């Protein structure tokens, strides 16, 4: 167990700078489809270049992009390999099946693996069983595991309800996740409860926050003040006409503890 923990700490150190994380997510092609893309950001090379130009500490990809674009990022930014995924075509209760193994993620050079759990879904039990298996496999390699904790389904009326988000965070801690990717709850006070429920698991706030850059940065400041260690963002960055400006503003918030107003100055 000691060797396993030491190996995981080695990988965790790659994903953080001074205990802070700034992940760029690009798993949207499968999850959301062409509606998320324009004539620039459909190209993985464009997104990878954004990650490399800025201080992102991890790049989140599915295995197909990790395979085919490894020459663009390998050795330059840590890979977070998303192990499960679903499309948005089938209108069925939310469940995201495995599409990549931990073994293959290691072959692709992953520094961490990720898995989405839709707590509250009718298929929640299947997801928890899968997560249990991959969590233990990841431990064999000393790999950290990130859990996308997204309460969703017919039993969840509001997936941003602070109590529901906090419950999801607690489930993630209990099943062995090292990092929890959760939704913004609307205020620093309510998000603080989410961080408390996460215990010793680290919390990053999911992207998809307000699309207005200024509001997005203000919300990011709130989640950091509530105890989150960073963000895992995608569309807030690469759907913007000025992705580097927003990335620089995020850097000042996360790594320099800048105020929201100071970070907003980087947008101009």
Residue 55 has pLDDT above 90, yes or no: yes
DSSP-assigned states of every residue in 25-77: E--HHHHT-GGG--TTTTSHHHHHHHHHHTT-SEEEE-HHHHHHTHHHHTTTS
Residue 250 has pLDDT above 90, yes or no: yes
- Looking at the chain, the whole-number percentage of residues with pLDDT higher than 70 is 96
- Tell the residue number behind the tokens 């298996």, with chain if given: 133
- Report how far residue 228's alpha carbon sits from residue 192's, in angstroms, rounded to the nearest whole number: 8
Average pLDDT, the chain: 94
- Output the domain CATH number for residue 235: 3.20.20.70
- Report how far residue 13's alpha carbon sits from residue 181's, in angstroms, rounded to the nearest whole number: 18
Residue 6 has pLDDT above 90, yes or no: no
| pLDDT at residue 31, as a whole number | 87
Cβ atoms of residues 198 and 251 within 8 Å: no
Q: Which residues are catalytic?
A: 181
Residue 3 has pLDDT above 90, yes or no: no
| pLDDT at residue 4, as a whole number | 64
| pLDDT at residue 211, as a whole number | 77
Which of 10-14, 123-127, 191-195, 213-217 is predicted least confidently? Answer: 10-14
Residue 1 has pLDDT above 70, yes or no: no
- Looking at the chain, the whole-number percentage of residues with pLDDT higher than 90 is 87
For residue 53, the enclosing domain spans 2-267
What's the number of domains the chain is made of?
A: 1
């Amino acid at each position: 167990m000691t060797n396993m923990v030491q190996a995981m700490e080695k990988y965790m150190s790659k994903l953080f700078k001074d205990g802070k994380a700034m992940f760029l997510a690009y798993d949207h092609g499968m999850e959301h489809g062409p509606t998320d893309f324009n004539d620039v950001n459909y190209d993985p090379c464009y997104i990878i270049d954004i990650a490399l130009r800025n201080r992102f500490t991890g790049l989140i990809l599915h295995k197909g992009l990790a395979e085919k674009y490894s020459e663009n990022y390998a050795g330059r930014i840590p890979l977070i390999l998303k192990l499960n995924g679903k499309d948005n075509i089938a209108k069925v209760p939310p469940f995201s099946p495995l599409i990549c193994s931990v073994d293959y993620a290691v072959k692709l050079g992953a520094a961490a693996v990720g898995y989405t759990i839709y707590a509250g879904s009718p298929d929640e039990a299947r997801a928890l069983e899968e997560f249990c298996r991959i969590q233990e496999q990841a431990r064999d390699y000393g790999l950290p595991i990130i859990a996308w904790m997204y309460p969703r389904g017919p039993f969840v009326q509001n997936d941003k309800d602070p109590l529901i988000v906090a419950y999801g965070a607690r489930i993630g801690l209990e099943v062995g996740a090292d990092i929890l990717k959760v939704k913004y709850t609307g205020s620093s006070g309510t998000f603080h409860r989410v961080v408390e429920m996460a215990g010793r698991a680290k919390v990053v706030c999911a992207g998809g926050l307000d699309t207005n850059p200024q509001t997005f940065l203000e919300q990011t400041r709130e989640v950091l003040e509530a105890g989150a260690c960073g963000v895992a963002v995608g569309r807030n960055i690469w759907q913007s006409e000025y992705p580097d400006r927003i990335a620089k503003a995020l850097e000042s918030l996360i790594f320099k503890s800048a105020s929201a107003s100071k970070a907003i100055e980087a947008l101009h």
